[in-house]
Amino acid sequence: MKTITLLPGDGIGPEVTAAAVRIVEAAGARFEWESHLAGSEALARIGDPLPREVLDSIQRNGVALKGPVTTPVGKGFQSVNVRLRRELELYANLRPVRTLPGVPSRFEGVDLVVVRENTEGLYSGLEHTVVPGVVESLKVITERASTRVARFAYDYARAHGRRRITVVHKANIMKLSDGLFLECARAVAAEHPEVATDDRIIDALCMQLVTTPERFDVLLMENLYGDIVSDLCAGLVGGLGVVPGANLGESGAVFEAVHGSAPDIAGRNLANPLALIQTAVLLLRHLGLADEAGRVDAALARVLGAGLRTRDLGGSATTTEFTEAIVRAIELG
């Protein structure tokens, strides 16, 4: 039986991960779940918010399902999420975005995927004061990281029946850095004639995304653009509370929702588990369990289409009511 590392996290994390596990199992997927602490509880009990055994577990199992983890503001430990990405070199961030029945949004027919380079660009942390009042922040783009994330995007497109990749850049201004990113993507594109490729300048793309988002399929971009555009895209389909996410690398893949630990509603059975359930669907597809993933998708569409929603989406269902409705929809087929 396949083993999956489970990081319930804190705040609403344990509630939404329990919901996702329940639904994955109802859909017929059989996993051994290896549960680990992360965050402040791990710090208190084990002395490290991201204990070595968590990293070992993800590397051994190759896959983790993770709930949100609270990061102390201004003091305390470094973000567990940032450390996980660094230590496991999870270089590709995947953010699929699609309109869901019954979830209020401005558009219909949106079904796109943002692939974001996760390790460099302006997030390399290379900043310094040149003279007082003047700061430099270095944007690092390498052939290696650009090529590897482009390979990921094309492999993903091929494996998931996606037809077109749009490479997003500002190479008209940042001719060397974004120029290199674009050049690497084009070189990988040449190895994949089965996937159409085009490119857009980031500002024009943003305008097109908020007018005709249904035109896009896969968007490939460097770190900062990806950070901003993936949240913009979440806004096209109902916000950060409904979209899934994953961070992937050679040594493992961590599937996690985009929202945080929502301490204001933790432990009150009010959390919307939709984002983590959709994240679990991504995980199922990553493991090649398309039938199980399809069952969850169909049940979600039926339950949302019938108007059942949690409080954050204007409904009144509790976490467990929403979860059990999906389980029943799966069982009814």
* Chain positions contacting ligand NAI, by CB under 6 A: 12, 16, 68-71, 81, 241, 256, 259-265, 271-272, 275, 312
State the nearest-atom distance from the C-beta of 211 to ligand NAI, in Å.
27
Distance of closest approach, residue 265 Cβ to ligand NAI, in angstroms: 5
Q: Quick one: 70 or 230, whose CB is closer to ligand NAI?
A: 70
State which residue, 177 or 279, has the beta carbon closest to ligand NAI: 279
Cβ of residue 274: shortest distance to ligand NAI, in angstroms? 7
Catalytic residue list: 123, 170, 203, 227
Q: How far is CA 212 from CA 41, 88, 200, in A?
A: 45, 36, 14
Q: Which residue is nearest to ligand NAI (CB)?
A: 260
> Strands (DSSP E) along the chain, which ranges?
2-7, 31-35, 63-66, 92-98, 111-117, 127-131, 134-137, 164-169, 196-201, 218-221, 246-249, 252-256
CA angle 5, 10, 12 (to 5 degrees): 105
Nearer to ligand NAI, 69 or 188 (CB): 69
DSSP 144-190: HHHHHHHHHHHHHHHHTT--EEEEEE-TTTSTTHHHHHHHHHHHHHH
Which residue lies nearer to ligand NAI by CB, 119 or 261?
261
* Least separation in angstroms between CB 306 and ligand NAI: 19
Residue found under tokens 């749009």: 166
Q: Are 142 and 91 in contact (CB under 8 A)?
A: no
